[in-house]
Amino acid sequence: MSSSSEISMVLVVSLFVTSLMAMTASAGNFYQDFDITFGGERAKILNGGQLLTLNLDKFSGSGFKSKNEYLFGRIDMQIKLVSGNSAGTVTAYYLSSQGPTHDEIDFEFLGNLSGDPYTLHTNVFSQGKGNREQQFHLWFDPTKAFHTYSIVWNSQRIIFLVDNIPIRVFNNLETIGVPFPKNQPMRIYSSLWNADDWATRGGLVKTDWTQAPFTASYRNFQASTTSTNSLTEQNAWQTQGLDAAGRNRLRWVQQKFMVYNYCSDLKRFPQGLPAECRRSSCSKEHQNKTQKHNRGNPDPYQNDALFLQLNSSTGTESSNNQSPEAPSREQGQDQRESEADYPKGLSTNMWWADLKGALGQRFNFGAIACSARVLTKDKHLALPHVSVSDIRYIDWPELHRRGFKGVVFDKDNTLTVPYSLTLWGPLGSSLQQCKSVFGPDIAVFSNSAGLYEYDHDGSKARELEGAIGIKVIRHKVKKPAGTAEEIEKHFGCKASHLIMVGDRPLTDIVYGNQNGFLTILTEPLSLAEEPFIVRQVRKLETSLVNRWFRKGLKPTSHWMLPDGMQCVKHPPPL
């Protein structure tokens, strides 16, 4: 070995040993540990360094960063988010290195209108590449008290935790070519800033500056890390993972509160999902069901307290996954209320409750007779006038020019992923154009939100209306059965002057055709949330429709648009 190679090896080994030895475990003081990065007096350190507040007004936001850099560790911060109407604001809390090939681990809290839930946006960058977004709604109101947001980062994995409950795990999969942040020390950053061009409903809701200043508060910073500036003993976070109880908590969060997962976004990755998604248990859990919370829990801040039941059913956790600490005085009342709401033994019985609710929503038993008639006699009713990949391909101005007076959307897999109550992000600009063309004459007519049988108090309809800004028509009969009476009453015109947009030939399209609508069939936004049987039924529907088209069957001609392709955009959107 050459002398230069020996010197290089010695340096590498020395740096490695030094990094193993360089550990800090500290309860933070904001004066000692952080620097204000921008915003001037809008960022304030109070109570002798125990509290820090960031403020945002019309002229500037504010932010801070850590004095130290860290390579691996556990970072805890208690944060109380902007209260009230926080739409358009973003509170960011993250680890990051610098440069075009930087690493980054993100918490971002996207504000919303009063009463609507915050969206917790997470992401992981390695060597400058991100695009690994997962988003969640929380099981509590993060504006009423301080809650602890933690990042555990070691050479095997990254764990995101909220009040010590894991919400996301990003594993080191370098063995299959997935880069992992492990070589670049990172600082802690946080900022409060205006992002109303994208943060709330895709930029549709702007910041209300009459509510300014907006304030986020921080306290009880703790770091147990490898630091480039200090030395101490080794800590447990270096090998921390999830035991059975931790995995159960993670599964609970994914099933109840995850609202977006890049690993389930087949539209975004038409050439195939990223490599880590094919190995990700998180992806599998999200594909099983991401939106149960939205079905069974109309209050976005109602806390199931399921993790308490999971603790009792799985036993004591190992040291690799610390049990949740006792709630602070500010959090105690909220936790006691949530515990009282939850029945004992839920962890063993929850699958049955979920199954009963899922069967009721996913299987349209009332449509069987109607479908039988279509399959045997009236096949043309299942054939759409127009077929597109999604609503971005629809030429709304052309339809309006042709004399159509309004648009009726299905919800699940047309505007939202199944059982979500928020718009699928990429559709935002098309829906906004539709609103600008048709004004208030747009509505949702769904077999979930607004259907009396499953939304008898209208809570899901109200939440969806708040999220996408479109009226949800209440009704009692599932598509494809029933008349268009409620819809015609809402729009004040005959159904023949309206457009029905949906993703199911034997429900949305049959309903629309037999009531005289112009019918537009879209491809489903995501199949990941649908159970196996429903996916097979969907395949059968598609196969039958394609077969009937090949045999020369045609949909009933619509007098206002004889050639449906005249309302399809060319070239299609990116």
Any idea what the CATH number is for the domain that residue 41 is in?
2.60.120.200
Whether 152 and 290 map to the same domain: the answer is yes
Q: Does some domain include residue 12?
A: no
Whether 335 and 380 map to the same domain: the answer is no
Strands 518-522 vs 386-388: parallel, antiparallel or unpaired: parallel
Whether 282 and 345 map to the same domain: the answer is yes
Q: Does some domain include residue 547?
A: yes
Query: Tens of pLDDT along 287-342?
Result: 554 444 444 443 433 333 333 333 333 333 333 333 333 334 334 443 333 333 32
Whether 210 and 67 map to the same domain: the answer is yes
Of the three residues 353, 378, 403, the one that is the final residue of a domain is 353
Rounded to whole angstroms, how far apart are CA atoms 304 and 325? 18
- The pTM of this model reads 0.50
**What mean pLDDT comes out for the span 346-354?**
36
Rounded to whole angstroms, how far apart are CA atoms 175 and 550? 47
Q: Which residues pair with 78 in a beta bridge?
A: 148, 219
Query: Tens of pLDDT along 160-194?
Result: 999 999 999 999 999 999 999 999 999 999 999 98
Model pLDDT, residue 431: 95
- Please give the tally of structural domains in the chain: 2
Q: Does some domain include residue 16?
A: no
Whether 349 and 392 map to the same domain: the answer is no
* Active site members: 104, 108
Angle between helices 244-257 and 281-288 (to 10 degrees): 50
Angle between helices 346-362 and 306-314 (to 10 degrees): 130
Whether 276 and 417 map to the same domain: the answer is no
Q: Does some domain include residue 5?
A: no
Identify residue 432 by its one-letter amino acid code: Q
Q: Does some domain include residue 2?
A: no
Whether 343 and 435 map to the same domain: the answer is no
Query: Tens of pLDDT along 482-520?
Result: 899 999 999 999 999 999 999 999 999 999 999 999 999
Rounded to whole angstroms, how far apart are CA atoms 435 and 432? 5
Give Cα separations from 452 to 101, 419, 445, 478 (angstroms): 52, 16, 12, 9
Burial class (CB in 10 A: 0-12, 13-18, 19+), 52: buried
Quick one: what percent of the chain has pLDDT higher than 70? Answer: 74
Whether 409 and 338 map to the same domain: the answer is no
Whether 335 and 451 map to the same domain: the answer is no
Among 40, 36, 57, which residue's Cα sits nearest to residue 194?
Answer: 57
Whether 184 and 111 map to the same domain: the answer is yes
* 225 contact partners, CB below 8 Å, separation of at least 6: 23, 24, 68, 70, 71, 72, 73, 74, 75
Of the three residues 302, 325, 353, the one that is the final residue of a domain is 353
CB of 248 within 8 A of CB of 310? yes
Backbone angles phi, psi at 385, to 5 degrees: -70, -35
Q: Which residues pair with 34 in a beta bridge?
A: 66
Rounded to whole angstroms, how far apart are CA atoms 494 and 564? 20
Q: Does some domain include residue 1?
A: no
Q: Does some domain include residue 3?
A: no
CB of 95 within 8 A of CB of 224? no
Calculate the dihedral angle through the C-alpha atoms of 430, 436, 438, 440, rounding to the nearest 10 degrees: 110
Whether 290 and 435 map to the same domain: the answer is no
Domain, as residue range, for 404: 364-567
Q: Does some domain include residue 572?
A: no
Whether 253 and 317 map to the same domain: the answer is yes
Rounded to whole angstroms, how far apart are CA atoms 555 and 386? 9
Rounded to whole angstroms, how far apart are CA atoms 39 and 36? 8
Of the three residues 353, 379, 411, the one that is the final residue of a domain is 353
CATH code of residue 553? 3.40.50.1000
